[in-house]
Amino acid sequence: MAFQDEDTFVEVDGARVHVLHRRPDAPASGDPVIVLHGWRASIEAVGSIIAGLGDAAELLAIDLPGFGTSPEPAESWDVARYARLVVALADRFGFERFAIVGHSFGCRVSIVLSTEHPERVSRLVFTGAAGIKPRRKASYYGKVGLAKLGRLVGAVGGPPGKRLQDRWRRKVASDDWLAASESFRGTLRNVLGEDLAPRLPRIAAPTLLIWGRDDADTPLWMGERMERAIPNAGLVVIEGGHFAYAERAGEFNRIARHFLVEQTAGVAS
């Protein structure tokens, strides 16, 4: 099946957003699909998903604000703010009801969106989903305490305090924190600080969890917990790590395509 791509920027809900809108030439049998990337990623990072689904369903992939070529938001956002943007984009492209494929941070956005607007979401595919607080070792809380002390020293210690804060920050901060601009770190703090586990039982859409067996960023136990908590969920484990959707692209796309397109076409017929 052939398709047409519209690779463009749109102004919506106070943000300038880069999107890829793919439309098959023939009528698609299922709902449109929105693809949401992970943290520090972009449309390009989920290219294998777009390639696997894009000739079978109308598709919208988004560079979420602050990622890819979409500018950072002017103020700090939380997950709900990203979810509101995705709904606004769905409205812009005429998606009354849609499915979502999310990776990592994209799943955080999907969890909030699907519980705030359950009537809009028909199906969910989560891979390497974030949203559950990880199990922390005691050393982590020591780093948190040092980081807080560093902020205090930086605030009251003048230039020498700022230099000391910067040295401590580089010792204890995550790669994501160090890679983020100063203005975007508030968004990162908001996103990581929210435990979305209480929302999982409220997800009404059928949900497929496709997890890499060796995922070190969002370990398999998180997928198993999500499967138990989401009322209509199933878990498929494939080989690979946090980016198993790309490492095992053929397998991932066959599973996702069947769930999103072929299975729904069978129900409709």
Q: Which domains does the chain have, with CATH numbers?
A: 3-133+193-268 (3.40.50.1820), 138-186 (no CATH)
Q: What is the pTM of this model?
A: 0.83
User: Residue 89 contacts by C-beta under 8 Å, 6 or more apart in sequence?
Assistant: 10, 12, 17, 19, 34, 60, 62
Q: What would the mean pLDDT of 53-82 be, rounded to a whole number?
A: 94
Q: What is the pLDDT of residues 74-93, one digit of tens each?
A: 899 999 999 999 999 999 99
Contact (CB, 8 A) for 95 and 86: no
pLDDT grade for 200, boundaries at 50, 70 and 90:
very high
Whole-number Å distance between alpha carbons of 240 and 27: 34
pLDDT at 176: 61
Q: For residue 140, give Cα distances in angstroms to 116, 137, 147, 174.
A: 32, 6, 11, 11
Q: For residue 132, give Cα distances in angstroms to 76, 179, 196, 204, 218.
A: 21, 22, 6, 18, 9
pLDDT grade for 180, boundaries at 50, 70 and 90:
low
pLDDT at 179: 65
Q: What would the mean pLDDT of 43-52 be, rounded to a whole number?
A: 95
- HSE of 77, CA atoms in CB hemisphere, 13 A: 20
pLDDT at 55: 81
Q: Please, which residues bridge with residue 102 across strands?
A: 36, 126
Around Cβ 146, how many Cβ atoms within 10 Å?
13
Whole-number Å distance between alpha carbons of 232 and 228: 9
Residue 209 has pLDDT above 60, yes or no: yes
Contact (CB, 8 A) for 151 and 137: no
Q: What is the pLDDT of residues 151-170, one digit of tens each?
A: 554 454 556 545 544 554 55
pLDDT at 173: 46
Q: What would the mean pLDDT of 208-216 be, rounded to a whole number?
A: 97
Q: What would the mean pLDDT of 247-263 be, rounded to a whole number?
A: 93
Q: What would the mean pLDDT of 185-206 be, rounded to a whole number?
A: 94
| E strand spans, 13-130 | 15-24, 33-36, 59-63, 98-103, 121-127
